[in-house]
């Protein structure tokens, strides 16, 4: 498929006229063809008007129609073939195998949401019978969840497929019945265009109203802010920096009608090494940790940026083994020159903080935007008095905290900011300490994992990729997994509604075969 630099506005392709931007090959630090045209406010208006016009039709497509549409997007993405992987690897520096895996994840995600749509549990269909004999009489009441409205999606730099144009936010919003307008991420413009066209084709193939999907190209924040300010937009999905996420939160709050923003922002993903686990497995833990830290040049939201353990010989053994492993790690290309520069500045700042010692660094490289991994250490008191040590440095850098005792470890657990994940390494003999830490960890993170490492986020029904501020702007939700759909819905109650006007999910005959809550009890479909 030919990449042209056009935006996608419904069924049209439009070359933006507000300027030109280019994709960058970060391995070569080189500009790529073609020119991508930047959107004017007119394109934002047009995309929003189409989305608004499509909304009522789209949200009332049947569950089966919407599921087929999501599956058609998945098929169309696969149909792009190797051209997609080639372009993505050029634009991001990510290896082919990783991108093939990510494509599988993206397609799997779309298919999971097809299942979620068909299952229909997301509507939480609820029926309370009329009680005409009661004084006062109770009317017939029925509740379903409906789509919020058109959603603006801001893809991530680090997942050009799975958290981008057809990624988790788009899939879950489309599943809920919301039209989607994506702002393409500048880190992978050509990849975005290819995927955007796959969605555009699915819209046509499935006979959906054209406004169901548009994709804009914008420079800096202006187009994004225009989009989030637009009255037609009713929710926002974002994955990126804290600064970027908070800017969208502010814009959304200042609207005449404030709207929810689901921003997945920053997390340093503490890893607690409990004493007996550390004593038993210091070297193995060190290798697993360094592998997780350096995976994908450390460019994961769930990268383990903090290790918390009791000081002593076993921690020393861990640090020695981790240092050795890290020093052997090759530098790998980061996604963009900007990310690479920020990462180096972050390591530099970290090493200059009083009380922090740089323990080891990975191999260097002459090539483009390659990141040298870094591992530092400080004591608990330093961490507790230095807020800057909680700042995420996006990339393969981590900080080990030597705790003086269990009480300090507990204090640290209470001191860390909200996180996407917290990991606990514990053997049976650590169970009492783990149990003591657990209530604090539950308050701090969306996912608590045992004896593993946080990178690798399953797309599953029980996944939570979310967590308390600042890891996200809304801890009540997840951006990965089946329940991501809940972000884009709101409940509506129908009182004494004539049977012929009732939505299908709530009709007596239950045409969607939903499990429903009837007079307070869960009733399985016949």
Min dist CB 491 to a copy of itself, Å, is 5
Q: Which residues within the stretch 45-64 sit at the binding site for a copy of itself (CB under 8 A)?
A: 56, 60
Q: Phi then psi for 183, rounded to 5 degrees? A: -95, 115
CA atoms in the 13 A half-sphere facing the CB of 484: 34
Piece of 80-88, 182-190, 390-398, 516-524 that binds a copy of itself (CB under 8 A): 516-524
Tokens of 31: 């500009």
Closest CA to 420 of 452, 392, 445: 445
Q: Is 146 in the site for a copy of itself (CB under 8 A)?
A: yes
**Binding piece for a copy of itself, criterion CB under 8 A, among 173-181, 224-232, 272-280, 428-436:** 428-436
H or E element in which residue 36 lies: strand 36-37
Report cis status (omega within 30 of 0) of the bond before 95.
Answer: no
- 79-138 residues in contact with a copy of itself (CB under 8 A) are 115, 119, 121, 124, 126-128, 136, 138
CA 18 and chain centroid, separation:
29
H helices present in 120-188, as ranges = 168-176
CB 421 within 8 A of CB 302: yes
Is 173 among the residues that bind a copy of itself (CB under 8 A)?
no
Q: Is 483 in the site for a copy of itself (CB under 8 A)?
A: yes
Determine the distance from the C-alpha atom of residue 62 to the mean position of all C-alpha atoms in its chain, rounded to a whole number: 27
Stretches 73-81, 197-205, 273-281, 514-522: which one binds a copy of itself (CB under 8 A)? 514-522
**434 binds a copy of itself, rule: CB under 8 A:** yes
Whether 374 contacts 350, CB under 8 Å? yes
Residue 149 or residue 396: which is nearer to a copy of itself going by CB? Answer: 149
Task: Pick the closest to residue 60 from 493, 502, 498 (CA basis).
Answer: 502
**Among residues 216, 166, 264, 245, which one has the least CA distance to residue 466?**
264
Taking CB under 8 A as the criterion, which residues in 287-326 touch a copy of itself? none
Stretch that binds a copy of itself, among 13-21, 293-301, 398-406, 465-473 (CB under 8 A): 465-473
> Which of 43, 52, 178, 301 is an active site residue?
301
Task: Report residue 126 as tokens.
Answer: 């609820």
Nearest distance in Å: CB 409, a copy of itself:
17
Q: CA 135, CA 133: separation in Å to the nearest integer?
A: 7
- Selected binder of a copy of itself within 313, 429, 460, 513 (CB under 8 A): 460
* Tokens at 355, concatenated: 């009380």
Pairwise CA distance, residues 224 & 188, whole Å: 16
Least gap, CB of 35 to a copy of itself (angstroms): 39
Site stretch for a copy of itself (CB under 8 A), options 163-171, 198-206, 351-359, 457-465: 457-465
Say how many residues touch a copy of itself, by CB under 8 A.
78
446 binds a copy of itself (CB under 8 A): yes
8 Å CB contact between 265 and 242 = yes
Residue from the set 150, 209, 362, 418 that interacts with a copy of itself by CB under 8 A: 418
Q: Is residue 501 involved in binding a copy of itself (CB under 8 A)?
A: yes
For residue 203 the two structure tokens come to 């819209």
Catalytic residue among 264, 369, 392, 417: 264
Structure tokens, 248: 């969208």
Which residues on adjacent β-strands are paired with residue 332? 371
458 included as an active-site residue? no
Q: Does residue 517 bind a copy of itself (CB under 8 A)? A: yes
Least spacing, CB of residue 439 vs a copy of itself, in Å: 4
Closest separation in Å from C-beta 274 to a copy of itself: 12
**Residue 193 annotated in active site:** no
Q: What is the set of active-site residues?
A: 264, 301
């Amino acid at each position: 498929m030919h990449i042209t630099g056009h935006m996608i506005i419904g069924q049209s392709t439009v070359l933006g006229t507000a300027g030109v931007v280019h994709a960058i090959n970060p391995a070569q630090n080189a500009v790529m063809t073609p020119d991508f045209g930047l959107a004017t406010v007119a394109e934002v208006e047009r995309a929003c008007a189409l989305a608004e016009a499509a909304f009522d039709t789209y949200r009332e497509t049947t569950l089966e129609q919407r599921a087929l549409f999501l599956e058609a997007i998945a098929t169309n993405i696969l149909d792009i073939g190797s051209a997609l992987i080639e372009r993505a690897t050029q634009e991001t520096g990510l290896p082919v195998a990783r991108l093939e895996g990510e494509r599988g994840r993206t397609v799997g995600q779309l298919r999971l949401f097809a299942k979620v749509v068909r299952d229909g549990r997301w509507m939480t269909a609820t029926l309370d019978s009329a009680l005409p004999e009661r004084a006062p009489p109770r009317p017939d009441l029925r509740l379903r969840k409906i789509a919020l409205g058109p959603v603006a999606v801001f893809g991530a730099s680090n997942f050009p497929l799975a958290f981008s144009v057809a990624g988790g936010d788009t899939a879950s919003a489309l599943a809920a019945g919301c039209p989607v307008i994506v702002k393409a991420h500048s880190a992978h413009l050509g990849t975005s265009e290819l995927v955007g066209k796959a969605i555009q084709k699915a819209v046509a193939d499935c006979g959906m109203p054209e406004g169901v999907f548009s994709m804009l190209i914008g420079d800096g924040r202006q187009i994004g802010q225009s989009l989030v300010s637009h009255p037609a937009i009713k929710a926002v999905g974002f994955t990126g920096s804290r600064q970027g996420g908070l800017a969208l939160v502010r814009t959304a709050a200042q609207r005449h009608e404030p709207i929810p923003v689901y921003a997945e922002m920053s997390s340093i993903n503490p890893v607690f090494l409990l004493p007996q686990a550390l004593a038993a497995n210091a070297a193995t833990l060190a290798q697993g940790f360094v592998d997780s830290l350096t995976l994908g040049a450390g460019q994961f939201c769930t990268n383990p940026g903090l290790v918390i353990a009791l000081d002593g010989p076993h921690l020393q053994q861990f640090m020695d083994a981790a240092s050795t492993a890290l020093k052997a790690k090759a530098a790998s290309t980061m996604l963009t020159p900007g990310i690479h520069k920020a990462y180096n500045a972050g390591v530099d700042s970290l090493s200059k903080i009083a009380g922090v010692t740089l323990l080891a660094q990975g191999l260097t490289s002459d090539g483009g935007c390659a990141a040298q991994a870094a591992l530092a250490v400080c004591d608990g008191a330093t961490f507790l008095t230095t807020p800057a040590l909680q700042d995420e440095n996006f990339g393969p850098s981590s900080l080990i905290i030597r705790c003086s005792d269990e009480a300090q470890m507990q204090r640290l657990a209470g001191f860390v900011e909200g996180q996407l994940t917290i990991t606990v390494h514990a053997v049976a003999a650590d169970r009492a300490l783990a149990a003591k830490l657990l209530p604090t960890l539950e308050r701090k993170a969306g996912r608590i994992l045992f004896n593993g490492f946080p990178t690798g986020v399953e797309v599953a029904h029980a996944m939570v990729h979310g967590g308390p501020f600042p890891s996200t702007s809304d801890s009540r939700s997840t951006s990965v997994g089946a329940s991501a759909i809940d972000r884009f819905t709101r409940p509506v109650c129908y009182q004494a509604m004539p049977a012929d006007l009732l939505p299908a999910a709530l009709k007596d005959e239950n045409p969607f075969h939903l499990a429903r809550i009837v007079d307070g009890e869960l009733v399985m479909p016949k």
